[in-house]
Chain A
Amino acid sequence: SQTIHQWPATLVQPVGSPLSLECTVEGTSNPNLYWYRQAAGRGLQLLFYSVGIGQISSEVPQNLSASRPQDRQFILSSKKLLLSDSGFYLCAWSGDSYNSPLHFGNGTRLTVT
């Protein structure tokens, strides 16, 4: 069966520090991969998605970047965190079909202080 792992679960970082969140998927090959951010009381916001190794699409200009160094690995990064980067970050994967559901990781709660 397919599983998705996302870490760390919580993170407290000072303003200006770098960020690296990692997500890996097991049990499937060539998944579509996504990074979302969830703000309280608002819908999930798509940050990045990838349909293959090295292929990254950015949805919203951010202080963030994403990379896909391996087929089932997706990394969210920042060189210098801002206070506004605080939030709940979710990694997800899906199959290729338009009806394929999203499978989410358990998220990372990031607090920038």
Chain B
Amino acid sequence: KNQVEQSPQSLIILEGKNCTLQCNYTVSPFSNLRWYKQDTGRGPVSLTIMTFSENTKSNGRYTATLDADTKQSSLHITASQLSDSASYICVVSAGREYGNKLVFGAGTILRVKS
């Protein structure tokens, strides 16, 4: 069964600290992996998209890594800010022959406090 599991479910960190969010998936065949940020009451916003051949991708203070062999990804946030408080969603796309179907994780809720 195609699944995306995220951990931890929620996380509280102090402003200025770094944190890492995890994503494990069983989606096969694999096309790409995406990370989205969703502020409370808003739609998700794309942070990164990585294909099979990409190991690391950065977007400002956000750095995503992908290990397609172990089917794991992480999102590292550097020097966290209060505005980083949000839900972070990992999404995996199945292959084109499966209509590029997207499988969503349940998200990690991050709270950054001062």
Residue in chain A with minimal CB distance to B34: A101
Residue in chain B with minimal CB distance to A4: B43
Residue in chain A with minimal CB distance to B42: A106
> DSSP class of A's interface residues: helix, strand, loop or mixed?
loop
The range of chain B's interface size is: 20 to 34
**A101 contacts which of B4, B42, B46, B106 (Cβ < 8 Å)?**
B46
Residue in chain A with minimal CB distance to B93: A98
Least Cβ distance of B26 to chain A in Å?
14
B72 within 8 A of A: no
Residues of B bordering A, CB below 8 Å: 4, 31-32, 34, 36, 41-46, 49, 51, 89, 93, 96, 100, 102-107
**Can you list 26 A-B pairs, Cβ within 8 angstroms, ordered by A?**
A6-B43, A41-B106, A43-B89, A43-B105, A43-B107, A44-B89, A45-B104, A46-B102, A90-B44, A92-B43, A98-B96, A99-B32, A99-B51, A101-B34, A101-B46, A102-B44, A102-B46, A102-B102, A103-B46, A104-B44, A104-B45, A105-B43, A106-B41, A106-B43, A107-B42, A107-B43
